[in-house]
Amino acid sequence: MTASSAADRIAELRAEIDRHNYRYYVLDDPEVPDAEYDRLFRDLQALEHQYPELLDAASPTQRVGGKALDRFAPVRHRVPMLSIRTETDIGPGGARAFDAQVRRELGLGEADPPVEYAGELKFDGLAISLRYEGGRLVQAATRGDGETGEDVTQNARTIRAIPLRLRGAAPEVLEVRGEVYMSRADFERYNARQRAAGSPPLTNPRNGAAGSIRQLDPSVTATRPLSFFAYGVGEIKGWDAPATHAEMVRALVDWGLPVSRERALARGAEGLSAFHQAIAAKRDSLPFDIDGVVYKVNRLDWQRQLGFRTREPRWAVAHKYPAQEELTVVEAIEVQVGRTGAITPVARLKPVFVGGVTVTNATLHNADEIARKDVRVGDTVQVRRAGDVIPEVVGVVLERRPPDARPFAMPKTCPVCGSPIARPEGEAVARCAGGWQCRAQRKEAIRHFASRRALDIEGLGDKVIEQLVERERVRDPADLFSLDAAAVAELERMGAKSASKLIDALERAKSTSLARLLYALGIRGVGESTASTLAEHFGALDALMVAEPSRLQQIPDVGPVAAAAIQAFFSEPLNQKLIARLRAAGVVWSEAAQPRTADRSLAGKTVVLTGGLESLSRDEATARLRALGAKVAGSVSKKTDYVVAGRDAGSKLDKARELGVTVLDEAGLLSVLAGQALSR
């Protein structure tokens, strides 16, 4: 390749990678799989390595690289970064008060139409200002005191959602104002990795974002999964501003800046209240933390007319939601035993209202975490509950520690079965060695075996399992099938009628599929999707039971750890006996030699089903989609290709629309199953 054709190819690769970043971070609609993106990236790196004279700071390969700093240089904001007034009345009264004040200050009368507002989320991260000159990112600064912030350019460059170059015709100068944040999933994943490595986790996504952007060493920031949303502008030169905030935000999107889709125009106080309520209802299902909503007068001329009062604009207000972190007292620390024997310490709390619910227990994860946070019985702690994540103790208020606060000691033996508790070298989790001997593990295993996605035994709830295991009626899942109606009817809160219903359900559950059975067995590392891949590849249980780890690892989704766990499970004589007893009890599963059909038209596609279907059951739909090669997932993400929305589809459908995922109705699903190709 000549130097000039290398320059062309480099420009082409940069443009293509920038475009994929835009589709991923701004449109939420990636066009190519990660592997393809990685390939382009490596090609570009190789060429740049070969032609170092063609390097450019705005190249997508140049995100990390700066040296660690001694301190951050101060940055004077040319347009100050203001804060927003917080309205304390979170009911409709608060919206009315704000709207009334805006109307009064604009001199509007009763006859004038309602004021239009831009409703946005109030992101819970750290404010940042990004300065683009000639379309290139030249500086990033924190808010600081609003007048002077800190230069965090090197760190901001590591955030892939922040473009290094703007798209299209960019103004001469553009300062973008927005929020650096960490999504809840990224926060959880990062912390899980930290805990597994015995390293300190982040306290909450907000601190995660704020702390990461203020790291002196940009290579540390680069390891933190940060994201960014734009919500406004500072200085602009060389651009005719539009008439409204909404149009200005739209221009940001076109320049390649990520803006949350959860924004809407609202008319008058009623519109504001409706927006507030709509967002409150979906707060838990948003992928990131918010602490409220922000209302902004949409007309920019009116914003200028309203102006500022001290450091707050008169044209914007924040409306908060109940806090997702509160203080309460640890009354006891107990341990729970999970299905695989994992011992989880749990704090019993003085009831506290947080994140919209009353919380009485919070996980403490493991012994290292307790030691690191130094949580003691009697301590006042900060409790966090955000989204559907289980409540968590994030820290101790040491000033409030009573003199008699007791440190926690991990018990040496299982509180349920008395077996030793051991913590394998290098692992964070301690486990009860009791296995099937431990009632807690038995209960959890049976609960899992009977769960909807496993053998789906209707009527076998926690209370029933509890009694069956306590009375030694059921020692393992196979025992379930030898229960008779009379024995079941003896249980508390069980009449003859519900007993016979349960027996019927057990009878029905006996005919199942290999995939469900594999999932039901609760082998470590074998979730629903791996179970169905295994079933598909092996066809028959006997073949899987003798498979070597090397053979298992050839299957997608099965890594060395899962392969070893599968082999260990089936080599265990007790498990072999369990399977023999299930067979003897009449449990049958379809063992089509190869359920794969020739038609793999959905290979590589991920489908999510939501809502009720009329002409087929959800399980049937799942099985048929899988037979065509699709992966059927439980939740909607950027990786989802199709969402099938049946009757009363709920939040998954909303999510699909939000992410721009193709939505099919039942008729669409049927035509796909009938072999009609889909076009995206």
Catalytic residues: 122
Among 83, 305, 336, 637, interactor with ligand IVH by CB under 6 A: 83
Q: Whose Cβ is closer to ligand IVH: residue 120's or residue 476's?
A: 120
Q: Whose Cβ is closer to ligand IVH: residue 92's or residue 313's?
A: 313
We find the least distance from the C-beta atom of residue 231 to ligand IVH, in angstroms, to be 4
d(CA 126, CA 178): 8
Does 467 sit near ligand IVH (CB under 6 A)? no
We find the least distance from the C-beta atom of residue 15 to ligand IVH, in angstroms, to be 31
User: Which residue matches tokens 């260990």?
Assistant: 568
Does 84 sit near ligand IVH (CB under 6 A)? yes
Q: Whose Cβ is closer to ligand IVH: residue 135's or residue 234's?
A: 234
We find the least distance from the C-beta atom of residue 118 to ligand IVH, in angstroms, to be 9
Q: Where are the alpha helices (DSSP H) in 337-384?
A: 367-373
We find the least distance from the C-beta atom of residue 339 to ligand IVH, in angstroms, to be 40
Stretch that binds ligand IVH, among 81-89, 94-102, 328-336, 369-377 (CB under 6 A): 81-89
Does 209 sit near ligand IVH (CB under 6 A)? no
Does 123 sit near ligand IVH (CB under 6 A)? yes
Stretch that binds ligand IVH, among 32-40, 122-130, 429-437, 460-468 (CB under 6 A): 122-130
We find the least distance from the C-beta atom of residue 21 to ligand IVH, in angstroms, to be 22
Does 313 sit near ligand IVH (CB under 6 A)? yes
Instruction: Give the total of residues touching ligand IVH (CB under 6 A).
Output: 14
Among 77, 122, 245, 605, interactor with ligand IVH by CB under 6 A: 122
We find the least distance from the C-beta atom of residue 92 to ligand IVH, in angstroms, to be 21
The residue number whose beta carbon is nearest to ligand IVH equals: 127
**Bridge-based pairing state of the strands 342-354 and 357-363:** antiparallel
We find the least distance from the C-beta atom of residue 46 to ligand IVH, in angstroms, to be 39
CA-closest candidate to residue 508, choices 586, 617, 592, 620: 586
Angle of CA points 226, 230, 235, to nearest 5°: 125
Give, in order, the Cα–Cα distances in Å from 421 to each of 335, 377, 434, 441, 541: 11, 22, 9, 13, 33
We find the least distance from the C-beta atom of residue 201 to ligand IVH, in angstroms, to be 24
Q: Whose Cβ is closer to ligand IVH: residue 303's or residue 610's?
A: 303
Does 589 sit near ligand IVH (CB under 6 A)? no
CB-based contacts of 180, cutoff 8 Å, min separation 6 = 125, 126, 128, 156, 159, 209, 210, 212, 213, 226, 227, 228
CB-based contacts of 390, cutoff 8 Å, min separation 6 = 362, 363
Stretch that binds ligand IVH, among 76-84, 190-198, 356-364, 539-547 (CB under 6 A): 76-84
User: Which residue matches tokens 């008729």?
Assistant: 667
d(CA 617, CA 630): 17
CB 656 within 8 A of CB 663: yes
Stretch that binds ligand IVH, among 35-43, 80-88, 578-586, 628-636 (CB under 6 A): 80-88
Write the DSSP symbol of residue 398.
G
Phi, psi of 431, rounded to the nearest 5 degrees: -130, 150
Stretch that binds ligand IVH, among 54-62, 79-87, 264-272, 364-372 (CB under 6 A): 79-87
Residue 457 burial by Cβ neighbours in a 10 Å radius (0-12, 13-18, 19+): buried
Binding positions for ligand IVH, 519-558, rule CB under 6 A: none
- Tell me, residue by residue from 225 to 264, as one string, x for binding to ligand IVH by CB under 6 A and - for no binding: ------xx--------------------------------
Does 363 sit near ligand IVH (CB under 6 A)? no
Does 297 sit near ligand IVH (CB under 6 A)? no
Phi, psi of 299, rounded to the nearest 5 degrees: -75, 125
d(CA 105, CA 86): 18
Does 294 sit near ligand IVH (CB under 6 A)? yes
Q: Whose Cβ is closer to ligand IVH: residue 263's or residue 624's?
A: 263
Q: Whose Cβ is closer to ligand IVH: residue 114's or residue 313's?
A: 313
Q: Whose Cβ is closer to ligand IVH: residue 146's or residue 351's?
A: 146
Q: How far apart are the first and last CA of the chain?
A: 36
Give, in order, the Cα–Cα distances in Å from 237 to each of 28, 232, 240, 324: 29, 15, 9, 40
Does 130 sit near ligand IVH (CB under 6 A)? no
- Tell me, residue by residue from 164 to 183, as one string, x for binding to ligand IVH by CB under 6 A and - for no binding: ---------------x----
Stretch that binds ligand IVH, among 29-37, 115-123, 421-429, 528-536 (CB under 6 A): 115-123
CB 450 within 8 A of CB 478: no
CB 607 within 8 A of CB 643: yes
Among 13, 75, 127, 602, interactor with ligand IVH by CB under 6 A: 127
Stretch that binds ligand IVH, among 120-128, 204-212, 600-608, 658-666 (CB under 6 A): 120-128
Q: Whose Cβ is closer to ligand IVH: residue 49's or residue 76's?
A: 76
CA-closest candidate to residue 115, choices 263, 242, 267: 267
CB-based contacts of 460, cutoff 8 Å, min separation 6 = 446, 450, 480, 502, 505, 506
Helices 560-571 & 573-584, crossing angle to 10 degrees?
70
User: Which residue matches tokens 């793999």?
Assistant: 600
d(CA 675, CA 118): 45
d(CA 661, CA 28): 9
Q: Whose Cβ is closer to ligand IVH: residue 179's or residue 479's?
A: 179
List residues near ligand IVH by CB under 6 A. 82-84, 120-123, 127, 179, 231-232, 294, 313, 316
